[in-house]
Structure 1
Amino acid sequence: MNRPTATATPTDDRPAATTPAPRTRRTRTPAPWVRTRLRTSPAAALALGALVLVTAFLAAALPRSVDAYETRALRHALAHTPPAATVVELTAARPGLEMPQAERERALLPAPLAAVHRRALATLPAPLRAERAQSAYGVRTTEPLVGTDPWLPRPDVHPPTFTLAAQSGLAQHATVRSGRLPAAHGTVTAATRQVEAAASTDTAAALHLRPGSVVHLTGRSGGEPLAVTITGIVAPVAPDGPYWSAAPELRTPGRAFKRSGVIPAPYWHGALLLAPDAAPALLGTPGKPEPYWHFAPATDGLTTRDTPALLSRTASLEGGPDLLKLRAVAGNTATVRTDLETVLTGQVTARRAIADLVAVAAVGSAAVAAVVLAMAGSLVAARRRDELALLRARGASLTGIGLRLLGESAVIALPAAALGLPAALLLVDGTARTPAFLAALAVALLACVVLPLPAVLAHRRPRVHGERDDLATTRPGRARTVAELTLLVLAAGALQTLRGQAPGAGGPSAAAAPVLVALAAALVLVRLYPLPLRWAARPARRLRGTVGFLALARAGRAPAAGVLPLLALLVALTTAALGGSVLAGVTHARERAALLAVGADVRITTPGDLRPLPAGTLPAVRRVPGVQEATAVRVDRAAAVPSQGTGGRRTLTLIGAEPGPYARLAAHTGLGAFPATALGRSGRVLDAVASPGLADRLGRGPVRVTTLGGEVTVRVAAVREETPAAPRGEFLLVDTAGLPATGATTLLATAPGADAAALRAAAGPLPVQLRSAARAPLTDTPLQQGAERVYAVATAAGAGYAAVALLLALLRSAPERAALLLRLRTLGLTGRQGRALLLLEALPQTLLAAGGGILTAWATIRLAGPGIDLTRLALTAAPGTAPADSPVPPVPPVSAVLAVDAGSLALPALGVVVLTAGVAAAQAWWSDRRRPSTKHGPGDTR
């Protein structure tokens, strides 16, 4: 029976009860990965950021430093080259006879010349710009005019000659010492026979000119003379500036020579400065006057990047489109002459040769820095190996892990590189912004991938927990073998290319050769490393103590990734040794050049080696403090011996010296040292030391030698390449007691610390040549100074990165070593044994790096030395040249080549050993301060 269903009806006004809705559970947002990791290890993040900042700064500073010193070198070369070579000279042919006389005269007046000057200044192509204050224009004679007055000085029989110039701006560039400036009175024409002129102080002193003097000038073939009245003597405001030195005869007269019989006869040649309005008078002389415009190049705004454009524009001015533009201004027959292209080409050649050397240090330091960054990333990846393995086990993909690690690295690397770049832009001079930005960007990108890349590669496949990866037991696979063989082939090819090219040719092979050789050596040493460990472990087992065997066993269990610190150390040691050898070679070449230029520390010579030294010169020099040895020698450069086969006579340099003092001087200088007994005599025959070529011609028998004092008989007893009194050329050295008594002409002294002023006071009026003064000009160019500074900084940076690499390598295994020491201390290991254990454990790899670095550096220098020329870096001027007014002798032809420097090889390697020992001792000391702990379970590596 079905019961009716009861229906509940509300009996009051209260609402019916309702079922509450289910409460929504709020999910917690996971913490961001990057923020969590940075908070977990802030010290590691700060260390990596500092490393990236310093590396980005150095990378950005290098191109700016190179650009800065190359720019200074360019400006220095243009400013210190004689203006006669750098000034751009525009000349126009003299007005032709087909023109009316009045028009020819008007063409030489200042107004039309100034108009051409202004238009030519605007036509000069960029980046070639003229310094308006030193530029000038005017009219000058191109054929010398002869001074016919009998009172003019004549060194021989020929009268002096003159150049007449009516140049603009004389009042602004000269100071009137006496008289007044010249002026043009009335209208000057070609028929004018009397003009006024000024003379420089040097010209007036040499040619006996003074205000009121009248010089009559005519052509070489005679004719009506032009009377030139000297109204004033002027002193140049800037005598070395382009205004006066573009045509040096305007400032200083010179001696020319005219052959008269066998001996050339000298005569004076000077210049007289006319008023610009008096230029038409030159048309009435046989001097063939021509208008000219001198444009002194402005160097303030030039940079090294302007050099290609300067070369192109200079060539265009001499024979291209820009010459046509100037001819449209100055006339169809105008020509341009300048040696600016030669100066720029020499600068480019020197810059390229030096840049190749700087690139060697830069590439080496960059390689070490890259390895250190890779080691920093590998260290972090190794520390987080278990964490990343757990993520892989829980399903994380390699792409996801790599992106997370990339973001983590980018947060550190990008701001650090962004700080390093502006620091380099602010602190380092230079205009190279784009190369600096690209270098800092490369560092940032490398720093971003050094952590994710090794982490992803290490977790491509699952690995058994605790799987050993020892350097001594790991067997390289085929891929590694192929890569190593490829690298060996590349290194051999780079060295072969470097050795086969001309010295100083440079190129990528010169810069990459040391790095490739170091990398190949690192791979070879890693292959050979297990062998000595196995050989040493066998006898170590028989020792009573356990420290030696345990240290060798621990060294053999070093991780296979230890090739990175070894590579960093080898590259750094090779770069440091190469850099030290380069700097040592440069110093040796400069010392050698200065020594060959002077012959000793001090050289005092009478003019032409013709007159004897004054009677008290030698004792006075010996009394100067700092003089160790002084000797007077006789130098006869006109001595002669019979020439074989021709019947004539051959000149040579005959040197007469006291055997004892001169032999000690030769031994001190290293120029042909010989025993004093070599300068003996047998009766009237003098034993002699001869140069090789002269000894071959004279033979070993007695030979008659004609000297200024008479004839002597000599016999060659010894052969030497050089000697202090005559470092270059053929010479014959004999005992001065056997020569006719004519007196010594040269004094040579060993005086490394003597005062130059005291030496000059002792020499009196005689010129004093110092070895230190001869060396000084060899290092005063910005190109050399800047390159040496950059080279030294790059080498020091490589050494610093090597130290960081060594510390990172030791830091990687520091926790394991600390835990090992704590366990062993609980087992009774003493503190002394602990220090010995850490030192012996690090010793094999340290000795491997130090010994391998020495061998690699030695091999690199010996193999790459023939392809590296240091001459441009060592010597300022081209060998064998010097300015005409230089107070020091010319630079002799010295070849500066790369050679092994023992100190540069040993000191960096010794530093590696000392640093390793110091770190091991510090870690042992720190472990001793900690209490021994027994809270270590099996497998615990804390």
Structure 2
Amino acid sequence: MRRPAPHPVAPWVRTRLRAAPGAAAALALLVALTACLAGAYPRAVDRYEDAGLRTALRQARPDHTTVRVTAPQPDLGLPAGRRAEAMRPAALERQYAKVLGAAAGPLTVDRAQSAYGVAATVSPEVPDPFLPRPSGLPARVWLVAPNGLAGHSRLRAGRLPRAARPVGSATPEVEAAVTAATAKSMNIEVGSVVHVPAPGRRPLAVRVTGVVVPREPGGAYWSTMPLQRSPELVTLPTPGPDPAKYWRGALLLPAGAAPALLGTGTDPVRYWYLAPDLRGLRAHDLDRLKSAVAALESGPGLRRARAVTDSGTDVATELDDTLTLFARLRSGISPLVSVAAAGTGTVVAVVLLMTGGLAADRRRAELALLRARGASLPGLTGRLLAETAVVAVPAGALGLAAALPAVPEGRLWPAVVTAAAVTLTGCAALPLRAALAHRTVRATAPREDVAGVRPSRRRTVAELTLLVAAVGAVAALRRRGTSDDQLVAAAPVLIGVVAALVLLRLYPLLLRRLTGPARRLRGAVGHLSLARAGRTSASAVLPLLALLTALTTAAFGGSVLAGVADARDRAALLTVGADARADADGPLPAAVPGRVRALPGVRAVAPVSIDYQAKPEDGQDPVPLVGADPRSYGELTARTGLGAVPGSRLAGRTGTLPAVASPSVASAYGTRRPFLVRLTDGSAVTVRIVLVRDRTPAVSGGDFLVVDRAGLADPANRPTALLVTGAHLDPAALRHAVGGSAGIHVRAEERARYADSPLQTGAVHVYTAAVAAGAGFAVLALLLGLLRAAPERAALLARLRTMGLTRAQGRRLLVLESLPQALLAALGGVLTGWSAIRLLSPGIDLTTIALPSAGTPLTEAELHADAWSLTVPALLVLVASVAVAALQAWWTGRQGSVRELRAGETG
């Protein structure tokens, strides 16, 4: 029996990809680019947070970050041999290997910088006459026997110390080394012998055999105990003008000589110092890292350390304090970065959905025909999913593969998750849109004009739900601040979504309001453009949502960045007092002000004399007294905005001098009566407070008095500081003009110093990149929305040209048709961005991201609306919409009408 020949059936996916290769390539490019950005974002955040953590630990110094495990000397009741054996290197090394196991979890140990040994806890006085005695007090020495001295130092003179025979508590003499800094400060040479007192026996003779130089002076091996590296001059808190001082330095014994400390009165302890490996610490493990440190200090880790060393072992570190400070800084920065991530993510999702919607609209007739011929909705959706997956999945994988080397640091799984989410959205956009549009079999698709369709109850309920969620998020954020990352991230996005829905509700009303004035217009272009604007598809919610979300995020982000810049500028101005400042301990040379005025870029110079120890009414509390030229100082205060002082109010050369005072000084000495101020040189001046100002440029503190410099006696009237204003000042030229008599502080340099943490600078860079990406995708959403209506517009112009419409009228028609939506998006974006900033500013503090944790005179940086961030993106949207409409009209005018008419007839 012959079988019938099978009918050749081409696979669906291959057929569709061959039929529309351009659309497939565009989808692949969009998914690849989006997946690359999505995969790079979490790794970029990890990178700057990890760098910030390492910088915070490095700035805290090893003496605060090293985990110090110490055990007391062996029990006095034990035999002398057993006590000495417990102090030898072999026993300490075995215990060190076991102590390392107590540091579990994410706390990784840098074994190269960790150390163990024996150290004294008492630094006895030594009577040797060659040691310095700055105040007549004998020097003190600190005995320490560290491991690995040879590997962590270079020999400058002599040889390294050795323990030639087994050393015990009765050993009369041992060898030692000293660092070059200790040898220089304490007059120690190779061959010097230091006699350390020992109770009940002759002093222990410590012979110096070598002078060493640390290989890594800043490493944990030397810096956990800084005295081991550098001596210190100790000042005793004694009364009198000349406090008592003495030197204290370290003698570095060989590890085998540690038992000798048992015979001294230094109360030695055994130590095992665990230096954290900064390269192995990650910010995302911060909570686990804090738990591991806590477990070492007073938990299971401490029990394990005592089990392998001694029952009296103690663990101490300030690492947890450093981690807490870093966590506080990160908690203030992360919510602000999440705003840009949420806004950009929303815009990206909208663009991917619009891409699917555009493809579904382009194939509406095809899919409707398939449904009419019996294709099931699940089958049709599955075929469309396979069609898009073949394109989107490889593109998403390619984008992820490009993101990993672009940002080589950071975790892998967040990048994979975000790239997979983008890929999944790209795959599902077309099938979901098609399933929604063709869930019912229809011969023709119904019209859904935005001006004619009445919102359904489901839409009304959804809009009210979003409105309630947005109001709740804003209220909670204003009340609680930026303590909740998700809340801060969701609030601006929710405001943009609600604004888009509200504007779509108002759009038909606005169009109806325009019909009245349009009746007075002559010609048909105005009426036709309004009719065309009213026939916009009701699905225009997606491009409007993308635009408003992007504009809100851009306005919010631009205002954040502008607020950060303003806060740093303000803090730098408060610190310097002008664009540049020259300060000297005494009077400046007379020629210096003239040389500074002649420098390029200098606008004005205000010479001032400052006496920081002036005492009103011969009291004990000093108040800085500033002597200034009324005219130049008045211009400076007006230009900087720091306590503006009219020059006429300050002028006064004889008798009682008028003074400008801070509120605290005015409250203490009054504004109605004159009072005497005693200067450091012994002279005195009588002043009366005539003006009260919160700040003044010459002094950054909260207390000050400002008087006319001409009313002061010589030498108090000679300038000790110059306040310089100008643009593009050259610090090197200023230093050369002033010479070595003064220190130079430039406002630009001071401002650059405030962003001292990679956590701050990295957050600003990621925020800027996220806002830029959101703006780019918003423009893409705008172009997709215009591309959706492009065939219909081309066919319309072709038909109207057959009825006598000129090219100029065609351009006006398309421009006027696009203007209502463009104006709606632009004005709505400005209003939404301004509203979001006004609503959220009470709960957002920019101080953490703008300024260091301490050392700046500005206590708080607030979020304010930035005019450029509000208007520029909105104007770009308006210009882009009009430009695309005009370009389409010009291009259509150059083409013939036959093709467009045929496309319109068949569509």
Give the Cα–Cα distance (whole angstroms) in 2 for the partners of residues 408 and 778 of structure 1.
53
Distance 1:466 1:754, change over 3 A: closer
Deviates more, 1:154-163 or 1:698-707: 154-163
C-alpha separation in 2, matches of 1:223 and 1:466: 108
CA 1:656–1:682 in 2, change beyond 3 Å: closer, same or farther? Answer: closer
Post-superposition Cα deviations, 1:167-196, rounded to whole Å, max 9, x if no partner, equal 233333233344444455766554566655
2:119 alignment partner, SS class: strand
For 1:260 and 1:315, the matched residues in 2 are separated by: 39
Aligned to 1:681, what secondary structure does the other structure show?
A: coil
Q: How far off is 1:540 after superposition?
A: 1.8
> Which residue of the other structure, out of 595, 616, 633, is the alignment partner of 1:641?
616
Q: For each residue in 1:193-219, what CA deviation from the matched residue of structure 2 results, as whole angstroms up to 9, or x when unmatched?
A: 665544433334444444455556669
Q: What residue is the counterpart of 1:713 in the other structure?
A: 686
Change (3 A) 1:481 1:65: same
Equivalent residue in structure 2 for 1:677, among 648, 654, 667:
648
In the TM superposition, residue 260 of structure 1 has moved relative to its aligned partner by: 1.7
**Structure 1 residues 396 and 186: alpha-carbon distance in aligned structure 2, compared to 1, 3 A threshold:** closer
Secondary structure at 2:905 match in 1: coil
Which residue matches 1:825? 801
In our comparison, the structure showing a higher alpha carbon Rg is: 1
How does 1:209-288 map onto structure 2 within 5 Å? 209-211=188-190, 230-261=208-239, 265=243, 267-276=245-254, 277-288=256-267
CA distance in 2, matches of 1:661, 1:438: 62
Name 2:628's counterpart in structure 1.
657
Superposed displacement of residue 24, structure 1: 8.8
Which of 341, 344, 362 is the equivalent residue of 1:365? 344
Match in the other structure for 1:696: 667
Q: Give the equivalent residue in structure 2 for 1:6.
A: none
Give the Cα–Cα distance (whole angstroms) in 2 for the partners of residues 139 and 483 of structure 1: 71
| CA shift for structure 1 position 625 | 4.5
- The 5 A counterparts of 1:412-811 are 412-461=391-440, 465=444, 467-502=446-481, 504-606=482-584, 609=585, 611-613=586-588, 617-622=592-597, 624-641=599-616, 649-681=620-652, 683-701=654-672, 702-708=674-680, 709-741=682-714, 742=716, 743-750=718-725, 753-761=728-736, 762-764=738-740, 766-811=742-787
Query: Match for 1:333 among 291, 312, 323?
Result: 312
1:218-255 C-alpha deviation (Å, 9 max, x unpaired): 69x99986665555443322111111111112223344
Matched with 1:940 is: 905
Cα distance, 1:374 vs structure 2: 1.4
Answer yes or no: is the 8 Å Cα contact 1:595–1:771 preserved in 2.
yes
Paired-residue identity, %: 51
The aligned runs of 1:46-125 (5 Å cut-off) are: 46-125=25-104
Deviates more, 1:225-234 or 1:321-330: 225-234
The 2-side partners of 1:269 and 1:605 are apart by 34
SS at match of 2:243: strand
Letter in 1 for 2:665: L
- 2:810 corresponding residue in structure 1: 834
Check whether the contact 2:368–2:443 (CA below 8 A) recurs between aligned residues. no
Q: Which residue of 2 aligns with 1:927?
A: 892
Once the 2 structures are TM-superposed, how far is the Cα of residue 566 of structure 1 from its aligned partner? 0.6
Judge conservation of contact 2:593–2:722 (CA < 8 Å) in 1: yes
Report if the CA contact (8 A) 1:604-1:763 is conserved.
no
Bigger shift: residues 533-542 or 181-190: 181-190
Alignment match, 1:127: 106
Which region of structure 1 is more displaced relative to structure 2, 513-522 or 697-706?
697-706
Alignment deviations for residues 758-783 of structure 1 (CA, whole Å, 9 cap, x no partner): 44443316443343443334334332
Q: Aligned match of 1:852 in 828, 831, 834? A: 828
Secondary structure of the 1:652 match is: coil
- After superposition, give the CA deviation of every residue in 1:362-406 in whole Å (9 maximum; x if it has no partner): 111111111111111222222233333334444444334333333
Paired residue type of 1:343: T
Q: Match of 1:311? A: 290
**Counterpart AA for 2:881:** T
* CA displacement 1:529-581 (0-9 Å, x = unmatched): 12222222222222223322322221122111111111100001111111112
229-238 or 372-381, which moves further after superposition?
229-238
Q: Is the 8 A contact 2:795 2:900 kept in 1?
A: no
Q: 1:581, 1:898 within 8 Å by CA — same for their partners in 2?
A: yes
d(CA) in 2 for partners of 1:613 and 1:157? 39
CA displacement at 1:900 relative to structure 2: 1.4
Residues 257 and 264 in structure 1, CA contact (< 8 A), matched pair in contact too: no
Amino acid corresponding to residue 110 of structure 2 in structure 1: E
Give the superposition deviation at 1:466: 7.4
Q: 2:570·2:858 contact (CA, 8 Å) conserved in 1?
A: no
Amino acid at match of 1:786: G
Question: Is the CA contact (8 Å cut-off) linking 1:505 and 1:867 kept in structure 2?
Answer: no
Paired residues of 1:815 and 1:941 also in contact (CA < 8 A): no
Change (3 A) 1:117 1:737: same
* CA deviation map 1:487-539 (0-9, x unaligned): 1111001111111113x313211011111000000011111112222222222
Amino acid at match of 2:872: L
In the alignment, the residues of structure 1 paired with residue 767 and residue 649 of structure 2 have an alpha-carbon distance, to the nearest angstrom, of 46
Q: 1:694 to 1:321 in 2, by over 3 A?
A: same
The verdict on how the C-alpha distance between 1:499 and 1:935 changes in structure 2, with shifts beyond 3 A counting, is closer
TM-score by length of 1: 0.88
Range moving further from structure 2, 398-407 or 486-495: 398-407
Partner AA of 1:815 in structure 2 = P
Cα distance between partner residues in 1 of 2:713 and 2:884:
73
Residue identity opposite 1:687 in structure 2: P
The answer to whether the Cα contact below 8 Å between 2:574 and 2:858 also exists between their aligned partners in 1 is: no
Is 2:121 the partner of 1:145? Answer: no
Corresponding letter in the other structure for 2:751 = R
Moved more, 565-574 or 374-383: 374-383
Backbone CA RMSD of aligned residues: 3.2
For 1:472 and 1:735, the matched residues in 2 are separated by 72
User: Is the Cα–Cα contact under 8 Å of residues 580 and 724 in structure 2 kept in the other structure?
Assistant: yes
C-alpha separation between the residues in 1 aligned to 2:93 and 2:574? 51
**Cα distance change on mapping 1:68 and 1:259 into 2, 3 Å:** closer
Match of 1:813 in 2: 789
- Given the superposition, is the C-alpha separation of residues 188 and 459 from structure 1 closer, same or farther in structure 2, using an over 3 Å criterion? closer
Is the 8 Å Cα contact of residues 188 and 278 (structure 1) preserved in structure 2? yes
Query: Structure 1: where are the runs of 5+ without partners?
Result: 1-20, 881-890
Residues 186, 247 of structure 2: 8 Å contact kept? no
**Residues of 2 paired with 1:773 and 1:252: CA distance?**
32
How many equivalent residue pairs?
901
Deviation at 1:706, TM superposition (A): 2.9
CA separation of 1:200 and 1:670: change in aligned 2, threshold 3 A: farther
Q: Retained in 2: the 8 A contact 1:147–1:161?
A: yes
User: Does the 8 A contact of 2:44 with 2:410 survive in 1?
Assistant: no
> Which stretch of the first structure deviates more once superposed, 678-687 or 223-232?
223-232
CA 273–158 in structure 1, closer or farther in 2 if over 3 Å, else same = closer
